[in-house]
Amino acid sequence: MQSKVLTIIILSLMFGCQSTPQNAESGQGLLIGEDSSAVKVMIRQIDKGDILWEGNYKLGTTASIEVGNHTVSIMCEFSYSWGKKLSPGTLNIDIKPDTVYNVSGKLSPSGDNCLVVANI
């Protein structure tokens, strides 16, 4: 009996602590940048519009985006034992309505920019 109760408590904690998946606004797309211990993908600008500051001159990892073809300016922050490195990247994407895109990045072989991809 005790092991059953303990199992239920552990499962409740595991599933209760998971973040709620984000959904796109009706008729739009949603970009969600990777935010891991190795890299943080931040949405900087959509179609050369305003810079998407979240506050205190910090860029966010999510952005709602209209349906259609877009060029998205990205900043990737790579974490190393010695510190962090910021690298720019560009994502060319055709946004579909009500779709969430997971945006990830990796450092280019030259180390000059971030290679960005988006997956559904």
Ranges of each domain in the chain: 21-119
Mean pLDDT score of the chain: 86
For the entire predicted model, the pTM comes to 0.78
**Residue-wise pLDDT tens digits, 32-50:** 999 999 999 999 999 999 9
Q: How far is CA 7 from CA 16, 18, 40, 61, 70, in A?
A: 14, 17, 34, 35, 47
Q: How far is CA 6 from CA 1, 12, 17, in A?
A: 9, 10, 17
Q: How far is residue 82's CA from residue 99's CA, in Å, rounded to a whole number?
A: 37
Average pLDDT estimate for 16-36: 74
pLDDT of residue 93: 98
- pLDDT band at residue 30, thresholds of 50, 70 and 90? very high
Q: How far is residue 120's CA from residue 94's CA, in Å, rounded to a whole number?
A: 12
By CB neighbour count within 10 A (0-12 exposed, 13-18 middle, 19+ buried), where does 82 fall?
exposed
